[in-house]
């Protein structure tokens, strides 16, 4: 099954970056025209990091299912269909399941998603259900779910579409290409939240491949940020009961740990932990000062940059920084309402409202 894109200006990441991807003419393009997300200049947060800092947000919440996972999923599902698969399976903190469910629906195949019971944000659960995934809430955490789907996909005819699937990383690396294409070169630093560590691995692959192809002549330093209660890479040991309100990065034993460590080592990178309070502060600033509503995990990259700035890291540096904002704020409406003041109540009268507003 091949999708006719016709006169579409943006054909999706596979078609646009085909020469960097393991696809042929025969590979079906299972696409929702993901990618091509905006690189938004920061107006408030960036200037506060340091006088010489130019900060851009790579706003991945504007993908078809509202997270960066779509870049990898278009590849994973297209290759699964090329190989004749009839069913995908994944473990998920929510966004992978939303994306797997959408792209599997698009391909006309079944999807099965295992999620940790009680720890998936409302919008993500709604997506998996709406797209028609067989949705199984497991009494366990993400790491348990991942172990289960690995075992099942080893022995039964279902294709694993977690970021252990190499095609996921191939698709996700296109975000680094877009950053270079839009900026006219790589940034000096690239900041992002780290959970299962697939995305930091993918960006690093993308930056390396562009340099090897001679399109760019250098690579950025990678800055990874984990939540304090779920910071295995920072601590150098797995975390048995990871805890953070940033559920998308509530992971104690990242599948791409080794690769992420290599990306940090090779890029002279930095990985740090940030507290949930710092994540929520950055989350609120992004929405109220930049007009960009993200889910809590996405704000970890901004909390991390603020922490580095407070330590003097950006003092005297002229630099370009890109921060990936991984998912949309509407994914987790419960959290948004919980941390905001209640709406004010008023009778349906002009006078009353004018008085409230002090006009």
Ligand X SMILES: *Cc1c(COP(=O)(O)O)cnc(C)c1O
In the complex, the residues that contact ligand X under the rule CB under 6 A are 67, 69, 95, 163, 193-199, 248-249, 295, 297-298, 326-327
Residue number closest to ligand X, CB atom: 327
Q: Among residues 15 and 60, whose Cβ is nearest to ligand X?
A: 60
Q: Among residues 27 and 174, whose Cβ is nearest to ligand X?
A: 174
Alpha carbon separation from 204 to 156, 188, 262 (Å, rounded): 32, 13, 9
CB of 254 to ligand X, least distance (A): 7
* CA count, 13 A, side-chain hemisphere, 314: 24
CB of 197 to ligand X, least distance (A): 5
Residue (of 117, 130, 70) closest to 95 by Cα position: 70
> How would you class 66 by CB atoms within 10 Å of its CB: exposed for 0-12, middle for 13-18, buried for 19 or more?
buried
Q: Among residues 80 and 249, whose Cβ is nearest to ligand X?
A: 249
CB of 78 to ligand X, least distance (A): 19
- Rounded to whole angstroms, the Cα distance separating 183 from 258 reads 29
CB of 224 to ligand X, least distance (A): 8
- Which residue in this structure is represented by tokens 């938004």? 40
Q: Among residues 135 and 163, whose Cβ is nearest to ligand X?
A: 163
CB atoms within 10 A of CB 153: 21
CB of 221 to ligand X, least distance (A): 18
Alpha carbon separation from 33 to 25, 87, 261 (Å, rounded): 18, 22, 31
Q: Among residues 35 and 198, whose Cβ is nearest to ligand X?
A: 198
Q: Among residues 50 and 206, whose Cβ is nearest to ligand X?
A: 206
CB of 200 to ligand X, least distance (A): 6
Q: What is the DSSP string of 32-88?
A: S------EEEPSSHHHHH-TTEEEEEEEGGGSTTSBTHHHHHHHHHHHHHHTT--EE
């Amino acid at each position: 099954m091949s999708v006719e894109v016709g006169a579409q200006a943006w054909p999706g990441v596979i078609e646009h970056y085909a020469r960097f991807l393991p696809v042929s003419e025969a590979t079906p393009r299972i696409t929702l025209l993901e990618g091509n997300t905006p690189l938004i200049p920061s107006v408030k947060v960036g200037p506060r990091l340091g006088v010489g800092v130019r900060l851009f947000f790579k706003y991945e919440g504007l993908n078809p299912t509202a997270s960066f996972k779509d870049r990898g999923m278009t590849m994973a599902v297209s290759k699964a269909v090329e190989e004749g698969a009839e069913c995908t399976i994944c473990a998920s903190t929510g966004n992978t399941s939303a994306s797997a469910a959408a792209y599997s629906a698009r391909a006309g195949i079944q999807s099965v998603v295992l999620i940790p019971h009680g720890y998936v944000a409302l919008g993500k659960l709604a997506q998996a259900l709406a797209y028609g995934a067989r949705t199984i809430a497991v009494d366990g955490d993400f790491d348990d779910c991942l172990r289960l789907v690995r075992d099942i996909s080893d022995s039964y005819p279902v294709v694993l579409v977690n970021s252990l699937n190499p095609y996921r990383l191939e698709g996700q690396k296109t975000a680094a290409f877009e950053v270079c294409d839009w900026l006219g070169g790589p940034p000096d630093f690239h900041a992002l939240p780290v959970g299962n560590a697939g995305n930091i691995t993918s960006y690093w692959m993308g930056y390396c491949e562009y340099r090897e192809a001679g399109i760019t002549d250098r690579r950025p330093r990678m800055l990874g940020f984990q939540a304090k209660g779920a910071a295995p890479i920072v601590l150098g040991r797995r975390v048995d009961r990871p805890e953070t309100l940033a559920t998308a990065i509530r992971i104690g034993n990242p599948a791409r740990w080794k690769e992420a460590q290599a990306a940090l080592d090779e890029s002279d990178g930095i990985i740090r932990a940030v507290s949930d309070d710092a994540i929520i502060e950055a989350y609120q600033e992004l929405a109220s000062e930049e007009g960009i509503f993200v889910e809590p995990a996405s704000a970890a990259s901004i909390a991390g940059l603020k922490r580095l700035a407070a330590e003097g890291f950006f003092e005297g540096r002229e630099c370009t920084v890109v921060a990936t904002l991984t998912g949309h704020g509407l994914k987790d409406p419960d959290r948004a309402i919980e941390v905001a003041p209640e709406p004010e109540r008023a009778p349906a009268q002009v006078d009353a409202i004018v008085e409230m507003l002090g006009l």
